[in-house]
Amino acid sequence: VTPGLVRDLAAIVGPKAVLDGEAARPYQRDSTEMQGLAGRADAVVLPSNVEQVRRLVAWCYEHGVAIVPRGGGTGFAGGAVPVEGGVVLSLERLDRVLRFDPELWRMQVEAGVRTGRVHRLARENGLLFPPDPGAAEQSTIGGNVACNAGGPHSFKYGVTAHWVTGLEAVIAGGELIRLGGPLRKDVAGLDLRSLLIGSEGTLGVIVRVWLRLTPAPEALIPVVAAYSSPEAGVMGLSRVYGYGLLPAALEYFDAGAVAATRAAFPGGLPEATAFLVVAEADGTRQGAEALAAEVAEALAEGALEVRRLGSPGEIRDLWRWRNGVSFAVSAQLGGKMSEDVAVPLDRLGEAIAMVVEVGQEHGLRTCSWGHAGDANLHATFMIDASSPEQVARASAAASSLFARTLVLGGTVSGEHGLGWVKREQFDRQFGPVEATLQRSIKALFDPRGLFNPGKKLPPIG
Between 277 and 304, name the residue whose CB sits nearer to ligand FAD: 277
Residues 22-51 within binding reach of ligand FAD (CB under 6 A): 30-31
User: Using the rule CB under 6 A, which residue among 86, 166, 247, 419 binds ligand FAD?
Assistant: 419
Segment interacting with ligand FAD, rule: CB under 6 A, options 127-135, 274-282, 289-297, 422-430: 127-135
Under rule CB under 6 A, residue 71 binds ligand FAD: yes
Segment interacting with ligand FAD, rule: CB under 6 A, options 68-76, 252-260, 261-269, 294-302: 68-76
Between 42 and 362, name the residue whose CB sits nearer to ligand FAD: 42
Under rule CB under 6 A, residue 376 binds ligand FAD: no
Distance in Å, CB of 71 to ligand FAD, minimum = 2
Cβ 416 vs Cβ 77: under 8 Å: yes
| Chain mean position to CA 126 | 25
Distance in Å, CB of 30 to ligand FAD, minimum = 5
Maximal CA-CA distance, the chain? 69
Under rule CB under 6 A, residue 256 binds ligand FAD: no
Residues 341-360 within binding reach of ligand FAD (CB under 6 A): none
Number of residues that bind ligand FAD (CB under 6 A): 38
Between 32 and 390, name the residue whose CB sits nearer to ligand FAD: 32
b/e 238-255 (16+ beta carbons within 10 angstroms → b): bbbeeeebebbbbbbbbb
Distance in Å, CB of 83 to ligand FAD, minimum = 11
- Give first-to-last CA distance, the chain, whole Å: 25
Under rule CB under 6 A, residue 200 binds ligand FAD: yes
Tell me the Ramachandran region of residue 265: left when phi exceeds 0, alpha when psi lies from -120 to 50, beta otherwise: beta
Under rule CB under 6 A, residue 82 binds ligand FAD: no
Segment interacting with ligand FAD, rule: CB under 6 A, options 21-29, 118-126, 197-205, 355-363: 197-205
263: closest CA among 207, 310, 321, 214? 321
Binding site for ligand FAD (CB under 6 A): 30-31, 68-76, 79-80, 91, 111, 133-135, 139-140, 142-144, 146-147, 149-151, 200-201, 205-206, 326, 415-416, 419, 452, 455
